[in-house]
Chains A and B, each alone.
Chain A
Amino acid sequence: AQRVTQPEKLLSVFKGAPVELKCNYSYSGSPELFWYVQYSRQRLQLLLRHISRESIKGFTADLNKGETSFHLKKPFAQEEDSAMYYCALRGDNFNKFYFGSGTKLNVKP
Chain B
Amino acid sequence: DGGITQSPKYLFRKEGQNVTLSCEQNLNHDAMYWYRQDPGQGLRLIYYSQIVNDFQKGDIAEGYSVSREKKESFPLTVTSAQKNPTAFYLCASKGTGSYEQYFGPGTRLTVT
Total interface residues on A, using CB and 8 Å?
22
Binds B, one of A38-46, A55-63, A68-76: A38-46
The B interface, classified by DSSP as helix, strand, loop or mixed, is strand
From A6, A90, A95, contact of B48 by CB (8 A): A95
* B 75-112 contacts with A by CB, 8 A: 90, 92, 94, 99-101, 103-106
From B99, B105, B106, contact of A90 by CB (8 A): B99
User: Do A96 and B42 contact each other (CB < 8 Å), given the known contacts A34-B99, A43-B103, A46-B100?
Assistant: no
Task: Verify B43–A86 contact, CB threshold 8 A.
Answer: yes
**Among all A-B residue pairs, the 9 with the closest Cβ atoms:** A101-B42, A99-B43, A44-B103, A102-B42, A95-B31, A43-B103, A46-B100, A95-B50, A99-B42
User: Which residues of B line the A interface, CB within 8 A?
Assistant: 1, 31, 33, 35, 40-45, 48, 50, 56, 58, 90, 92, 94, 99-101, 103-106
